[in-house]
Amino acid sequence: MVKRGISRSRRMRGVRNGKRKHIQCDARNEESDDHKRQRHDKDKSNDKLDDQVRNATIIPHDKYYIGWICALDIELTAATAMLDVAHGPHPQPENDINNYTLGSISGHNVVIACLPFNSYGTNTAAIVATHMRRTFSSICVWLLVGIGGGVPGKVDIRLGDIVVSTRVLQSDLGKIEKDGQLHQTGLACAPSQGLMTAVATMKAKHRKSTNELSRILQNLREGPCMTDFASPGVESDLLFDSNYEHESLMRENCDACDRSRLVHRNTRVDEKPMVHYGIIASSNQLIRHARTRDQVVQIADNICFEMEAAGLMDSYSSLVIRGISDYSDSHKNKQWQGYAAAAAAAYAKELLSIIPLKERQESEIRRGISTTRGVTARHSRNNSPDTETPGKAHRIKDIKAGQNAKLVFHSDDSPLNVSGVSAGDNAIEFFGSGGHLLLRELLHGPIRAKAPAAEETVQEETTISTSNSKSTS
């Protein structure tokens, strides 16, 4: 009986010990699983970070051809929301006080800059444009995009509509004569023929449909934190008699204004913004008085007021695009600024989609062929040549070219690795993922082709720049 009890107790202890072992083993397994999950999450995070680093787009300064200038921060928000691809920041001269947002729209590389906070007027706009041109010297298309004050009467302009300049007139430039009135002497400046050709195409396109403009606006409004760009609604589009002043300067809205002084206008069937083309008056003075507005219009024949364009038109052939946020009267407020800024930015985005990519295409052709004169190229990135690098990180090393030699590097989305190759005098060398072809004496001599050697086996794409040339895939 004693032996049986002892054996039973031993069995019980063995069961308990076995359970403890299983529990400890399970705990170790759970801990191991947790560590695995943590390592997996960390690896995923590192992979994501590596992808962001590899995919960061760095474009040379001289490959930006579109300059986009805003006056207000809400206009800058709308402008940056139009970018298809965002580019990384660039170094800029110490005396350049601008803050740039870089990216691309429909293949065009775009530079966006905003005027300093609480700084307005033609002079400030000219300073911003001057800095931008010095830093990005290849800009050839200038867009001034933002809000403006509409002129009712001549055309049926409503809040949220878009006005595109056919000419810009500096309305505060002139002389005071015997009658004490300002007589304008400024000449109306027109955009370049290239921009006006694009405008003509847009007009023809919008006669058929404005669906693309509406789609861009809708996409902007559906973005996160973009509620400021929604339309306030036609019920808040109020146009008062020119002789009726705003009731209270302490209140921005017109709740206290006499609704019997409203100007009757026909109801629009479609609430989409309409696009108007005409003269835009620009000055350093903010027009917030209906009778003054009407006096200027009688002379300038303009359909919109703004405060920046005159500072650029003499030196920069610019197109001015304004979303109408008020009627340049005492009832002016900020309720429509977000939607008006979005409408102007949407028009600019659609405009860029129809402007030809001539400059960009020519630059890519120039970039694809490198003509060297007795230079030696070294690898441009400090990475191991034996390591496979995904993405579009490029490297070429130890490429030597003789006099009047040409090097062409091509990769059809396949990795490319070139190393330790020399080109003789008057030779052309082509490097591609499909093989290595040597053409001697500028195609007039014998042609010899060979398959890539083992050390030239494709592993990664590569690019370099030399002092006199560029070689790219």
Indicate which CATH number applies to the domain containing 185: 3.40.50.1580
Domain contains 7: no
> Are residues 410 and 310 both part of a single domain?
no
> CB-based burial of residue 104 (10 Å sphere; 0-12 exposed, 13-18 middle, 19+ buried)?
buried
> Are residues 311 and 426 both part of a single domain?
no
* Structure confidence at residue 219 (pLDDT): 94
Range of the domain at 411: 399-436
Give which of 426, 219, 191, 160 is closest to 314, Cα–Cα. 191
Quick check: helix, strand or coil at residue 295?
helix
> Are residues 235 and 292 both part of a single domain?
yes
Number of domain units in the chain: 2
Quick check: helix, strand or coil at residue 128?
helix
> Are residues 347 and 423 both part of a single domain?
no
Domain contains 163: yes
Instruction: Show which of 338, 354, 370 is a domain's final residue.
Output: 354
Domain contains 61: yes
Q: Distance (Å, rounded) from C-alpha 109 to C-alpha 143?
A: 13
> Are residues 191 and 320 both part of a single domain?
yes
* Structure confidence at residue 271 (pLDDT): 85
Quick check: helix, strand or coil at residue 84?
coil
Adjacent-strand bridge partners of 399: 377, 421
* Structure confidence at residue 269 (pLDDT): 84
Q: Distance (Å, rounded) from C-alpha 322 to C-alpha 75?
A: 10
Domain contains 3: no
> Are residues 429 and 326 both part of a single domain?
no
Q: Distance (Å, rounded) from C-alpha 76 to C-alpha 142?
A: 15
> Are residues 74 and 150 both part of a single domain?
yes
Give me the DSSP letters along 350-381.
HHHHHS--HHHHHHHHHHHEEEESS-EE--SS
Domain contains 442: no
* Structure confidence at residue 187 (pLDDT): 72
Kind of pairing between the strands at 275-282 and 162-170: parallel
Domain contains 382: no
Domain contains 389: no
Eight-state DSSP code of residue 266:
P
* Structure confidence at residue 171 (pLDDT): 84
Q: Distance (Å, rounded) from C-alpha 239 to C-alpha 166?
A: 25
HSE value, Cβ hemisphere, 13 Å, CA-based, for 384: 3
* Structure confidence at residue 408 (pLDDT): 57
> Are residues 155 and 246 both part of a single domain?
yes
Mean pLDDT by 10 residues, the chain (473 residues): 48 50 48 52 45 56 96 98 94 95 97 95 95 96 97 93 96 71 73 95 96 95 88 92 78 79 89 95 91 91 94 88 95 93 98 82 43 32 36 50 57 51 58 43 38 40 36 37
> Are residues 169 and 237 both part of a single domain?
yes
Q: What is the value of pTM for the model shown? A: 0.66
Could you tell me how many helices (H) and strands (E) the chain has, helices first?
A: 9, 21
Which residue is it, tokens 């601008």?
98
Instruction: Show which of 301, 326, 354 is a domain's final residue.
Output: 354
> Are residues 343 and 416 both part of a single domain?
no
* Structure confidence at residue 389 (pLDDT): 37
Domain contains 330: yes
Q: In this structure, what token pair is assigned to residue 27? A: 């705990």
> Are residues 262 and 186 both part of a single domain?
yes
Quick check: helix, strand or coil at residue 117?
coil
